[in-house]
Structure 1
Amino acid sequence: MDCGLNTSNFSFLIWSLFLIGLSYSDKFHFETAPKFKFVKDAKFAPRILSFDYIVIGGGTCGCPLAATLSHGASVLVLERGGSPYTNPEKINIHNFVTSLSEISPLSFAQQFISRDGVLNARARVLGGGSVLNAGFYSRASSRFIRESGWNETMAMFAYKWVEKKVAFEPTLLQWQSAVKDALLEVGVLPYNGFSLDHLYGTKIGATIFDKEGNRHTAADLLEYADPRRISVYIHATVHKILFRYNIEKRRPQAYGVIFRDAIGKMHKAYLSKRSRKNEVIVSAGALGSPQLLMLSGIGPAKHLKAHGIKVVLDQPLVGKGMADNPMNVLVVPSPIPVEVSLIQTVGITKFGSFIETASGLSIGHSWSERLQGIFEFVSNQSGQPSSVMYPPEQKEESVADTIRSLSNPILKGGVILEKIIGPRSTGHLELLTTNPNDNPSVTFNYFKDPEDLKKCVLGMKTIIDVINSKSFSKFRYHNMPVEALIDLMYHIPMNLRPKHASAPFSLEQYCIDTVLTIWHYHGGCQVGKVVDLDYRVRGVDGLRVIDGSTFYRSPGTNPQATVMMLGRYMGEKILIKRYFQEKK
């Protein structure tokens, strides 16, 4: 009988015992969102620090990863943003749009415009994207887990560990219920009820908002951490990873980082020398991780040299495979009041499109003007054109009246959206400057692959059927056909792409013209290209990348559950291997 560590039964036994051993961490549970004593502003950090693990990025993956690692080693987390606990109202469900669109230097979101002309945002806060998103929580499909090379049982343990802190069953009110019934009416079957699993048909997913509308984020998973072994510094921007040449292995080896605090002081953090298995782990997100690798000298040599960066490792695949799930929407004004709701109902189609909805958010001129302001602010910073290209003046009177009516603050409505699985279309990321606070240049190439466009069209057809359904009829102005809603979208500054409103109308062109992001971008440090199956950066020692930048496609209907799970999963895997190596 083979009793090696690689046998599945023995691994599962060890994993189970390890989980039981870590269960004591519940004694650090707080009943309310804590202000952790181990979270401090980086300006109070020593000039020189030493830890077993340095986690760059306290985001959706970095927080669960660091919390787990703290039960077997000392961990330093460096987060460039602030804390979500300083102003709880800011992350309440009612302030979703405001928090996401804020452009203050201290805002939780850093706006950027892709080279495709689509406004996007990257998180800049402890907890990462889970502080900004629409809150939907749903696991990846079994197929995604298998294709990622993860043990399904171990992954399920990790999901449940996350869900104990942040996942809630939502209360379905009128708007969400109507969309659910409409999806079933138009054939998105079967109905799977409330479920965390990724299942074809219509279902209700979990949410990270509790009954009072308070958001629970990946930062809450730091409640699991051993406070004696973890230090988290916020407003700590890592400028580069430090490497030395390992003569024995004839390759670079990471040994520390340099970071700057909010008042400009530089600090150095080194890996402690008590174990050769100590590592720097980059969890800075799909933009931040490839950007930081490049700033540290790992990337396409020609591109790095053009920016005056010393090449540590010529790795042409860093920044490649960037993708973003395209989202297209219809705004639906309602003749009756609607509840404030973010994503709860989802239709998972077999043709590769997900149908989701939100309601009660302001859709009037103030929202339109806010978008325009963000476009101008980011465009002026990036050098991209700031003008929005509108269609020719062919406004029917009914559409003009509709736009004017949307300025009424009493009028509410919602959006019904679709995003496609995958996507197949990919792009790339490059540095614009050597300042880590600046956004890199990123191109997603929305709908470059015709299969993506086909899925969008089918998704939009499903949305139109939902709006025209009997189940949804009470939320419709009956004198406003869907064609008017589509025309309305051409008069709202949704993105910076050229508009081609024309007759006959084309859903293909509508998808291309009005594409938005759903903030599910990924790639740039993909498994098998930049990192191996254990997320070690290929060609160097002492360095991993663990976050959504390693994905080939976005998992399920929303990636946050899987990104949090991955942090827990890899944290346990690293500690188990560390334990056996130290016993040798």
Structure 2
Amino acid sequence: MIMKLFLLVSFLLLLTSCQGRRNLNTWEDKYPFIRYASSFSSSSSTAVGKAYDYIIVGGGTAGCPLAATLSQNFSVLLLERGGVPFTNRNVSFLRNFHISLADLSPTSASQYFISSEGVFNSRARVLGGGTCINAGFYTRPSHRQVPLFGIFLIFHQLDIERLGLDAKLVNESYPWIENQIVHMPKLTSWQRAMRYGLLEVGISPDNGFTYDHLYGTKVGGTTFDRYGRRHSAAELLKSATRENLDVLIHATVQKVVFDKSGKKPKAIGVTFKDEKGKQHLALLSNKQGSEIILSSGAIGTPQLLLLSGVGPKADLERMNISMVLDNEFVGKGMSDNPMNSLFVPFKTRMEQSLIQTVGIAKTGVYIEASSGFSQSPDSIHCNHGMLSAEIGQLSTIPPKQRTKEAIEAFKRNKHNLPHEVFKGGFILGKVAHTKSRGKLSLCNTNIDDNPSVSFNYFSHPHDLQQCVHAFHIIEKLVKSTHLTNYMPPDEDTFEKLLNLSVLANVNLLPRHANDTRSLKQFCKDTVTTIWHFHGGCQVGKVVNSDYKVLGVQGLRVIDGSTFSQSPGTNPQATLLMMGRYMGVKILRSRLGKAAGI
């Protein structure tokens, strides 16, 4: 009896021990430096808590590699307004990509906004930023399309060294990212058909699998592994020096605090609120070179600058914001790459795929594709591709009007869609180098609310002509041998697909379903976003060539708001690289060889 009791106790102890080991595999144990914002202590060396060498606002695509790099030699506080991606199934798995974008809750990983033109869009609200809610496609910019002072230009005679970039550091920064979170995709049948279809219609040569941005047809990298699990920028924080890094989640920065007693205003800290609504003040250390770095993206960074008193005088006065610096260019030069899509019905149900193959035309348009699946139109989250008619549909209804009756009307309208739109994919045309420009301005002084954003899609005739050119390519593509194998045969396929696509796409613009003979009108009617918006803090206007904010001290911007063009077919690789690149550059400028990297 005693022996049986001993064995039972031993077994229970062993079981408890094994469970304890499994529990060690949580994100809290892997990332002990990530804490909730409410844990921020005010009982440290100063009256407001620990002072830091760097405070980074925004734990996104650039902010995470930047924080990990700077922490190797300095103390860093990274403030992220969202939560962690690790336990969010909608973020973590490719199959749930559409659900994450359709989630309209105030704590979702994506925060929807609608441009003034009526195009719905999303901005990230999660540690890892856009790498947590995008389609995962990873590609470097062209060797000749280089970020010169934040401006992406194409030069045929000049190389990286002559443009002032450290080519060696660029070449070191990309692999640092790729070795940790980037993978080679396993092509789905739809993506293979797209690859060979593009080659058939003359988008050549066949560049195979490559990270490089090359004219022709290529297969790019992906941040989804072979099991369909996403690997975001948040995972790069594993490379940080743990004792030097504090990451606070659900920390919403409300403004940058300036000392205005000197010749130039000097950034000395930030105020933020935690998940419980309590206010905090985080301060920089007194070390020479300490800085606040804004990495809140093309929407968040200009919005935060304005709320902090840096921007056009008239705009600040209109909001009763005390002016720190009058800069007319904050929020100006906003741009988004317009995307238009052709819906393609399939003969049979096909597996889901996001972007894996891309055709890069020398004229400056990119052709990509996605495919999806759907249970039935009765499901509010059913998916039939990256631009599902359900994604963001409720976003087009203002929050105060999102009544029970409005939701029921939305459900009824879905049944009016042609049955085909629930079992197909999309061919996407993206205008690469846009010339249309818009602006961002405050609606109020609440950081949680979206500012007013205008992109002025197709206001420049160049962009509209590029869209038309993209659809000339797409028309040939849908008639190619490799794609017709997947589609129902029809002599008037392209014309019918244009009409079907007008119904399948969602925005707040007027429809001209009977006027699809004009591709220009089709482009205007069906314009959507591919989430590559940029601008608002451009180099030479808001920041200098080192991304330091002009007219003030101790403040930089490192994110897509500094870009005048979106690099490559997808900007995430460049933004990830820039976070690492600038982190190393800052360390070397402060420490020289002592930086050790």
Normalising by structure 1, report the TM-score.
0.87
3-state DSSP of counterpart to 2:146: helix
3-state DSSP of counterpart to 1:358: strand
Rounded Cα–Cα distance in structure 2 between residues aligned with 1:239 and 1:581 = 37
Deviation per residue, 1:506-541 (Å, 9 max, x gap):
001100110000000000001111000100000000
Rounded Cα–Cα distance in structure 2 between residues aligned with 1:511 and 1:563 = 29
Rounded Cα–Cα distance in structure 1 between residues aligned with 2:337 and 2:303 = 20
Instruction: Note closer, same or farther for the CA distance 1:173–1:491 as it changes in structure 2 (3 Å cut).
Output: closer
3-state DSSP of counterpart to 2:541: coil
Instruction: Note closer, same or farther for the CA distance 1:259–1:487 as it changes in structure 2 (3 Å cut).
Output: same
Does 572-581 or 177-186 show the bigger shift? 572-581
Rounded Cα–Cα distance in structure 1 between residues aligned with 2:442 and 2:234 = 29
> Which residue of 2 is the match for residue 262 of structure 1?
275
Instruction: Note closer, same or farther for the CA distance 1:255–1:581 as it changes in structure 2 (3 Å cut).
Output: farther
> Which residue of 1 is the match for residue 252 of structure 2?
237
Task: Check conservation: 1:46, 1:267, Cα contact below 8 A.
Answer: no
Which of residues 584, 591, 597 in structure 2 aligns to 1:572? 584
Deviation per residue, 1:407-449 (Å, 9 max, x gap):
5xxxx32111010112111100000010111100000010111
- CA shift for structure 1 position 105: 1.1
Size of the aligned set, in residue pairs, is 534
- CA shift for structure 1 position 146: 5.6
Which of residues 188, 200, 212 in structure 1 aligns to 2:215? 200
Which of residues 346, 371, 393 in structure 2 aligns to 1:334? 346
> Which residue of 1 is the match for residue 202 of structure 2?
187
Rounded Cα–Cα distance in structure 2 between residues aligned with 1:122 and 1:97 = 14
Instruction: Note closer, same or farther for the CA distance 1:330–1:55 as it changes in structure 2 (3 Å cut).
Output: same
Q: Which runs of 5+ in 1 are unaligned?
A: 1-29, 390-399
Rounded Cα–Cα distance in structure 2 between residues aligned with 1:329 and 1:551 = 25
> Which residue of 2 is the match for residue 376 of structure 1?
397
> Which residue of 1 is the match for residue 439 of structure 2?
428
- CA shift for structure 1 position 564: 0.6
- CA shift for structure 1 position 153: 2.3
Rounded Cα–Cα distance in structure 2 between residues aligned with 1:102 and 1:508 = 32
Instruction: Note closer, same or farther for the CA distance 1:445–1:51 as it changes in structure 2 (3 Å cut).
Output: same
Task: Check conservation: 2:113, 2:122, Cα contact below 8 A.
Answer: yes
Quick check: 1:468 aligned with 2:479?
Answer: yes
- CA shift for structure 1 position 380: 4.7
Quick check: 1:96 aligned with 2:97?
Answer: yes
Normalising by structure 2, report the TM-score.
0.86
Quick check: 1:495 aligned with 2:507?
Answer: yes
Describe how 1:520-535 pairs up with structure 2 within 5 A: 520-535=532-547
Amino acid at match of 2:204: L
Rounded Cα–Cα distance in structure 2 between residues aligned with 1:66 and 1:555 = 22
> Which residue of 2 is the match for residue 136 of structure 1?
137
Quick check: 1:449 aligned with 2:460?
Answer: yes
Describe how 1:116-195 pairs up with structure 2 within 5 A: 116-145=117-146, 147-148=148-149, 149-195=164-210
- CA shift for structure 1 position 71: 0.5
Instruction: Note closer, same or farther for the CA distance 1:504–1:269 as it changes in structure 2 (3 Å cut).
Output: closer
- CA shift for structure 1 position 369: 4.4
> Which residue of 2 is the match for residue 13 of structure 1?
none
3-state DSSP of counterpart to 2:439: strand
- CA shift for structure 1 position 101: 1.5
Rounded Cα–Cα distance in structure 1 between residues aligned with 2:117 and 2:592 = 48
Task: Check conservation: 1:111, 1:378, Cα contact below 8 A.
Answer: no
Amino acid at match of 1:257: V
Amino acid at match of 1:578: R
3-state DSSP of counterpart to 1:239: strand
Task: Check conservation: 2:505, 2:526, Cα contact below 8 A.
Answer: no
- CA shift for structure 1 position 364: 6.5
3-state DSSP of counterpart to 1:568: helix
Q: Which runs of 5+ in 2 are unaligned?
A: 1-23, 43-47, 150-163, 381-387
Quick check: 1:40 aligned with 2:35?
Answer: yes
Instruction: Note closer, same or farther for the CA distance 1:439–1:73 as it changes in structure 2 (3 Å cut).
Output: same
Deviation per residue, 1:254-294 (Å, 9 max, x gap):
00010000111011100011x12100000000000000000
3-state DSSP of counterpart to 1:309: coil
3-state DSSP of counterpart to 1:258: strand
Amino acid at match of 1:513: D
Rounded Cα–Cα distance in structure 1 between residues aligned with 2:248 and 2:516 = 56
> Which residue of 2 is the match for residue 393 of structure 1?
none
Rounded Cα–Cα distance in structure 2 between residues aligned with 1:481 and 1:553 = 35
Deviation per residue, 1:377-414 (Å, 9 max, x gap):
45859xxx99x99xxxxxxxxxx99803445xxxx321
3-state DSSP of counterpart to 1:238: strand
Instruction: Note closer, same or farther for the CA distance 1:364–1:287 as it changes in structure 2 (3 Å cut).
Output: farther
Deviation per residue, 1:530-555 (Å, 9 max, x gap):
00010000000000000000001000
Describe how 1:214-233 pairs up with structure 2 within 5 A: 214-233=229-248
3-state DSSP of counterpart to 1:311: coil
Task: Check conservation: 1:91, 1:99, Cα contact below 8 A.
Answer: no
Amino acid at match of 1:265: K
- CA shift for structure 1 position 143: 2.2
Once the two structures are aligned, what percentage of the paired residues are identical? Answer: 49
3-state DSSP of counterpart to 1:356: strand
Task: Check conservation: 1:108, 1:124, Cα contact below 8 A.
Answer: yes
3-state DSSP of counterpart to 1:259: strand
Task: Check conservation: 2:358, 2:366, Cα contact below 8 A.
Answer: yes
Rounded Cα–Cα distance in structure 2 between residues aligned with 1:87 and 1:372 = 22
Quick check: 1:516 aligned with 2:511?
Answer: no
> Which residue of 1 is the match for residue 370 of structure 2?
358
- Calculate the aligned-residue CA RMSD, in Å: 2.4
> Which residue of 2 is the match for residue 66 of structure 1?
67
3-state DSSP of counterpart to 1:59: coil
Rounded Cα–Cα distance in structure 1 between residues aligned with 2:416 and 2:283 = 63
Describe how 1:292-371 pairs up with structure 2 within 5 A: 292-362=304-374, 365=377, 366=380, 367-371=388-392
Which of residues 203, 206, 227 in structure 2 aligns to 1:212? 227
Rounded Cα–Cα distance in structure 2 between residues aligned with 1:373 and 1:353 = 30
Larger gyration radius, structure 1 or structure 2 = 2
Does 435-444 or 500-509 show the bigger shift? 500-509
Does 573-582 or 187-196 show the bigger shift? 573-582
> Which residue of 1 is the match for residue 87 of structure 2?
86
Task: Check conservation: 1:339, 1:360, Cα contact below 8 A.
Answer: yes
Which of residues 293, 299, 302 in structure 2 aligns to 1:287? 299
Deviation per residue, 1:63-101 (Å, 9 max, x gap):
000000001100000000010012345420000000112
Task: Check conservation: 2:549, 2:556, Cα contact below 8 A.
Answer: yes
Amino acid at match of 1:155: V
- CA shift for structure 1 position 491: 2.0
